[in-house]
Amino acid sequence: MSDKRQRARVQGSWAKPLPKPSVPTGVVQNSQQPKPAPPAATSWGCGPQKTPKTFEFHQPAKPVRDVPPERVIEQAGDHEISLGPSGVSRLRLLPGFLPPEDADWMFSRLLAELPWSQKTNLRQGEAYEEPRLTCWYGELPYTYSRSTMAANTQWHPVLLSLRAAVQQASGCSFNSLLCNLYRDGHDSIGWHSDDEASLGLKPTIASVSLGDTRVFSLRKQPPPEENGDYTYVERIRVPLSHGTLLLMDGATQDDWQHQVAKEYHDRGPRINLTFRTIHPEPEGHRPGSKLRSTTK
């Protein structure tokens, strides 16, 4: 937890030590009086004993705000995650969308046979390599983070049959596919929304996961008065296991960001296939322009 989120829970402060009780002047202490018992030994009582401090409550200047607890979505079905001025944001989670034996052979073939490469993006004029491998399918190029993936109409046959199954399950059609390969737990994708103008308004994105389970996290966009501070926003975790289909639709790309964070314990490879629909960019439009400014 960030220092700021942790501090948000603390309501008081440690006070100065209490003054020692003073002996009134003129009173002679009776040396025969019983001496106070020495402090009882505790398991941490080695070394000199310090005067105990007390905790004083200070009314905070501003009311204390709770960081909302993170929600976990694991159950199959439709989940309305928010309702705001931009409309309903919705996730549909279908674990086991692919039977395990199909997911196994599809994963092996796609890992071995797709033209994976590492893309170089630009952020504030600086080039950086994405911490994962990708490839792109679609009749139109796809630009994000100031770098373009060329059109590629050579769909792998496994991807064509997967696209048909995803279209059938979702009732949506998709003309493009971004494939991500997370080689191990160190590969990741940072906070972003899939809100390039080329995806159109309120896009539906269908994501199929193969291989090791990774956590797909979402965080709500903060209201304007928070000035881009995500400390108090709602958060959701969705573990995406082998063969799962996740659909994001409605206002999800307007009102939420998502990421797959690095992990610090061993993870095997994972492939994520995100089916999308790309529209030709209007004349004079900068390719890859965002409705908001986020980078993948």
Ligand X SMILES: O=C(O)CCC(=O)C(=O)O
User: Measured from the CB atom, is 176 or 272 closer to ligand X?
Assistant: 272
Indicate the residue among 8 and 111 with the shorter CB distance to ligand X.
111
Q: Which of 89, 143, 180, 244 binds ligand X (CB under 6 A)?
A: 180
Which residue's beta carbon is nearest to the bound ligand X? 272
Do 260 and 193 meet the contact criterion of CB atoms below 8 Å apart?
Answer: no
Interatomic CA distance for residues 100 and 272, integer angstroms: 16
**Read out DSSP for 198-265?**
GG-SS--EEEEEEES-EEEEEEEPPPGGGTT--TT--EEEEEE-TTEEEEEEETHHHHEEEEE---SS
Least Å from the CB of residue 231 to ligand X: 23
Nearer to ligand X, 119 or 296 (CB): 296
Nearest by Cα to 134 from 119, 153, 147: 119
**CA nearest neighbour of 260 among 271, 252, 251:** 271
Residues in the chain: 296
Residue closer to ligand X (CB basis): 15 or 291: 291
Least spacing, CB of residue 117 vs ligand X, in Å? 15
The smaller minimum CB distance to ligand X, of residues 138 and 284, is found at 138
CB of 179 to ligand X, least distance (A): 9
**Minimum distance of ligand X from residue 191's CB (angstroms):** 10
**DSSP code for 290:** B
Cβ 163 to ligand X, closest distance in Å?
16
**Segment 193 to 252, residues that bind ligand X, using CB under 6 A:** 194, 207, 216, 240
Residues near 140 by beta carbon (within 8 Å), at least 6 away in sequence: 151, 175, 176, 198, 278, 280
Q: Which is nearer to ligand X, 82 or 130 (CB)?
A: 130
Binding-site member from 140, 260, 278, 290 for ligand X (CB under 6 A):
260
In sequence order, the 6+-apart residues with CB closer than 8 A to the CB of 62 are none
Please, where are the H alpha helices in 96-176?
A: 100-113, 157-170
**Nearer to ligand X by C-beta: 159 or 260?**
260
Q: Minimum CB separation from ligand X for residue 259, in Å? A: 7
Least distance in angstroms from the C-beta of 218 to ligand X = 10
Q: How many residues bind ligand X (CB under 6 A)?
A: 12
Is residue 178 involved in binding ligand X (CB under 6 A)? yes
Token digits of residue 76 = 């199959």
Helices 100-113 and 157-170 cross at an angle (nearest 10°) of 140
Which residues lie near ligand X (CB under 6 A)?
Answer: 178, 180, 189, 194, 207, 216, 240, 258, 260, 272, 274, 296
